[in-house]
Amino acid sequence: MNILSLFDGISCGRVALERAGIKVDNYFASEIDEHAIKISRRNYPEIQQIGNVLNVDATKLPPIDLLLAGSPCQGFSFAGKQLAFDDPRSKLFFEFLRVLKECNPKYFILENVKMKKEFLDIITEHVGVEPILINSNLVSAQNRQRYYWTNIPNVGLPYNPEAEKLLLLDILDVDVRQIYWANEELRENYDGGKYLSPKYKSQGNRVHDIEAKSPTICAGSHGYSNGYVDTGVVRRLTPIECERLQTLPDDYTDKGVSDTQRYKALGNGWTVDVVTHVLNQI
């Protein structure tokens, strides 16, 4: 299959295709973040990077069988200002529509965040198919609700009882470097693997229940917006733990970029096993 992936990020779609057993002849990726591209290239050097979506002309590519897109969501997200189509990032949805018409693929998948119904209805009207809301907690240890618009037939909710049972404690790393402890005071109070655990109140400094699903990881700097976990020790999630929450292989993003860029890339990425589930219906 020839694949075109817009807003490709770290090529989570390419990982999902591999897991779904779909043969990839060409994978064209449109992305502008140099760190995401670096991660993508080191995992899949054969990917053809074609630059900014604003400059993509799908008529000049080979016939596209599958179009993937997770257009920027900041303008739609309940966690943001909800400027919707007034946000220049969310306006990029219309670039997806343009490319969709240009390449007329056999299949397409568009992913975006849970949003107000008025925004949802506009996207649905333009795309021409009803979305399905899938929570990543059905396949992972993370709560992450996302809409998927696709013309792939018979896509329902994933059913994986074992994966659905996964909790935050199941994906925690056993060997965590000191740099991930919350702060110096907590490091100094370290005694046999236990800290007195302050109950952080702010959005960026949360103590999560490890015997539950993780909240949605996001692209905040240094991982602090991905919260703290309490295992008798208060610390932030590591990049590897965030990779596991997104059902990516360990160290997938450890490709010569900083932790800050790893967290950003993972927060902007897809939960691979959800996309794999969708692709399995082809």
Q: Spell 161-177 as b/e; 16+ CB within 10 A means b.
A: eebeebebeebbeeebe
Map residue 253 onto helix, strand or coil: coil
Listed residue (134, 193, 140, 132) closest to 166, CA to CA: 140
The span from the CA of 44 to the CA of 15, in Å, is 9
The span from the CA of 177 to the CA of 252, in Å, is 18
DSSP per-residue codes, 181-194: BS-HHHHHT-BTTB
Element at 121 (helix H, strand E): helix 117-127
The residues assigned a catalytic role are 73
The span from the CA of 136 to the CA of 273, in Å, is 8
- Contact in structure between 75 and 82 (CB atoms under 8 Å): yes
The span from the CA of 246 to the CA of 270, in Å, is 7
